[in-house]
Amino acid sequence: MKVFKKYTDKIQLQGNIYVALVLSLLLVMALYSVSRVAFYFYNTSFFPNLSLSRMFIIMIGGLRFDLSATLYSNSLFILLLILPLPIRFNQLYQSILKWIFLTVNAFAFAINTIDFVYYRFTLRRTTLTVINQFENEENLGRLSLHFLWDYWYAVLFWIFLGALLYLGYRHIKYTGPQLKNKFVFYGAGLLAMLLCIYLFVGGARGGFRSSTRPITLSNAAAYAETPNEIALVLNTPFALMRTAKANVIKKVHYFSDAETEKIFNPIYRPADTNVFKKENVVILILESFSKEFVGAYNKNRPYGAYSGYTPFLDSLISVSHAYHYSLANGRKSIDAMPSVICSIPSIEVPYILSHYSGNKINSLASLLKPEGYYTAFFHGAPNGSMGFDAFANMAGFDHYYGKTEYNNDKDFDGIWGIWDEPFLQYFANQMNSFPQPFFTTLFTVSSHHPYNLPEGYEKKFKGGPKLVHRTIEYTDYALRRFFNKAKMMPWFENTLFVITADHASAEIQLQEYNSAWGYFSIPIFFYQPKQQGRGLTNDIVQQIDIMPSVLSYLHYNKPFVAYGNNIFQKNSANVAFNYLDNTYQIFRGNYLLQFDGVKTKSLYQFKSDQLLKNNLMKTFPDTVRTMENYLKAFIQQYNNRMVDNALTIDGSQLPLAQKK
């Protein structure tokens, strides 16, 4: 002990650099906790039943992810501070360290604060796929300025965090030791560096055991009772870093291939003997069009009259094949394209942004083209936006019509694209020049934040409690004008129209839609002028049902791969799938089952229990078992075929069997 004391006395610490390091990292973690509370208050409507006890658990669980994010993002700062070199105590060196620390963490907090707003559009923490999503945007600078202007309070909160970070760091003082023995200085410094590295690895991974895998987004479920709470547990820098090299879609083996096919098989081998009817097909995908906005879907609400904001669509639904429980398969615009056109949902990661986006696929365009169809895709945004033009090309469309082809910037809204009214008129005119039969798809743009209206229309549409309601009325009006014009065209009566949305809006007025089913509730209906439908039924329909249903309607009799169901077939599966907060969801009959990839988390009778308050998982074990097996088979077919590039009949590597 005397020998040990003899050497340690030679290091006289005037300010412990390792204590300063710990205090600096604790400062960052404290600000992450402050941000978590602010995130909750900004998005409190998405967490209506969160109690103080639940929030306490979430805050404690969130520290694990905050620590990981803090260590990863400050790794350079930590390394430069623990190097066993005297230069650490040089004033210039410490000044450089200070600005590295402030810059890196200010940037991390900016990313985290942006998600305060962006979360309500995606209902999940932002992952690295967001970079790919916006890489083709020509007006990204303008969009960013609009974001800063519209959400100035988020900017102010970020400035507030930055000020706390700066002031807190200023009060963390450290100076160097008085060197009396270089051997002791370098030896102790090396041991301290090795200890810091060990602690860094354990903290960043989320544990020290050799069996511990680095924590990822799914680990947040351990602190959440419902899927939406996962976003509260996480922070955005962690989500970005953990998905930087993530190969999200991996093969799974719940069942043997033969067992999987018996439960769910995406291969269709139609036995239709009717003559193929070469009717035109027009799909209209409406931007951010929640089912909540459409009065026809909300007539039976238990309290008060609600007329909605779409009088024209209401009238069209009454003479269409429409479904009360119609659901999107994703929460983003880029999720909708493969779902609607190719019957490929986006599970875990948007298909367009996945590692397998180059897979060979079949689509309505590629399957109808050999039948003599001319195909075209219309999107009024600047060409390249969201990568839609590239996907349209990959899906087999003959031509793409965007803002460039429209060639009249007087009708440009200044942000997203050409106003819906003139672009829909352009759409009708262009189709009048196409050879029949044709298959076309149009994606609208106007019902999107910042919810502006064209000049002269500000007083025409009164809207409702939300700004989006005015633009919903405007797009509904634009659709009325489109159909009025289309009625005059020679191709109109020989056309099947499919109307749907890309995803539900982040703006929620009716609280029953503030739920795991409401977040995906959109209109989906089929209108044929000569063969009008019976209006709404209580069946379930999803976006990926559109492709097989359209092909069935046309009596298409060749094999293809589709993950959806033919809703025109008797005894259809009456099922829908989507993915929310790292949780798989399956809707079947009256039930919604939520599954984390390993086990079922909950079961609800979503049609009667709209706010999903009563978890019936233990009450109906047989229903849980049946739905879970169906979902597992769906996931296995999706993941394994995606990895094997088996999304077409030619590329299929599993035995071909008759689709049930």
Are 293 and 231 found together in one domain?
no
| Pair (225, 372) in one structural domain | no
Overall pTM > 0.85: no
Q: Is residue 38 part of a domain?
A: yes
CB 411 within 8 A of CB 423: yes
**pLDDT less than 50: residues of the chain:** 1, 3-14, 210-212, 652-660
Cβ 415 vs Cβ 146: under 8 Å? yes
pLDDT of residue 336: 94
Which strand (E) or helix (H) includes residue 407?
none
Domain assignment present for 36 = yes
Is the residue at 420 inside a domain? yes
Backbone angles phi, psi at 465, to 5 degrees: -65, -25
How far apart CA 485 and CA 492 sit, in angstroms, is 10
Looking at residue 131, its pLDDT comes to 64
CATH number at residue 538: 3.40.720.10
The answer on 328 and 222 residing in a single domain is no
- Host domain of residue 307: 288-563
3-state secondary structure of 135: coil
Q: What is the pLDDT of residue 622?
A: 97
How far is residue 616's CA from residue 94's CA, in Å, rounded to a whole number?
A: 59
Domain boundary among 503, 536, 563: 563
Q: Which of 210, 242, 274 is the last residue of a domain?
A: 242
The pLDDT score that the predictor gives to residue 657 is 38
Query: How far, in Å, CA of 348 to CA of 581, rounded?
Result: 9
Sign of the Cα torsion 556, 558, 560, 563 reads positive
Q: Are residues 7 and 76 in the same domain?
A: yes
Quick one: 231 and 370 in the same domain?
no
d(CA 409, CA 381): 11
> Helix axis angle, 140-150 relative to 152-170, nearest 10°?
80
Whether 501 and 396 map to the same domain: the answer is yes
Residue 238 domain-assigned? Answer: yes
- 9 lies in the same domain as 110: yes
The answer, yes or no, to whether the previous bond of 437 is cis (omega within 30 of 0) is: yes
Q: Which two tokens stand for residue 44?
A: 């409190």
Asked if residue 413 is part of any domain, the answer here is yes
Residue 383 lies in a domain: yes
Give, for 104, the enclosing helix (H) or strand (E). Answer: helix 91-122
Helices 91-122 & 75-82, crossing angle to 10 degrees?
160
Amino acid symbol at 108: A
38 and 106 both lie in a single domain: yes
Contact 296, 314 (CB under 8 A): yes
Residue 193 lies in a domain: yes
Judgement on whether residues 227 and 343 belong to the same structural domain of the protein: no
Residue 354's pLDDT is: 73
259 in any annotated domain: no
Q: Which residues pair with 325 in a beta bridge?
A: 540
Q: Based on the fold, state whether residues 139 and 21 are members of the same structural domain.
A: yes
Distance CA 434, CA 492 (A): 13
Q: What is the DSSP string of 579-632?
A: EETTEEEEEETTEEEEE-SSSEEEEE-TTT-TT-----TTT-HHHHHHHHHHHH
Task: Return d(Cα 594, Cα 227) in angstroms, integer.
Answer: 9
Distance (Å, whole) CA 513 – CA 521: 8
- Total domain count for the chain? 2
* Domain termination site, one of 534, 563, 592: 563
Q: Say what the pLDDT of residue 556 is.
A: 96
Same domain, 413 and 529: yes
Q: What is the pLDDT of residue 656?
A: 36
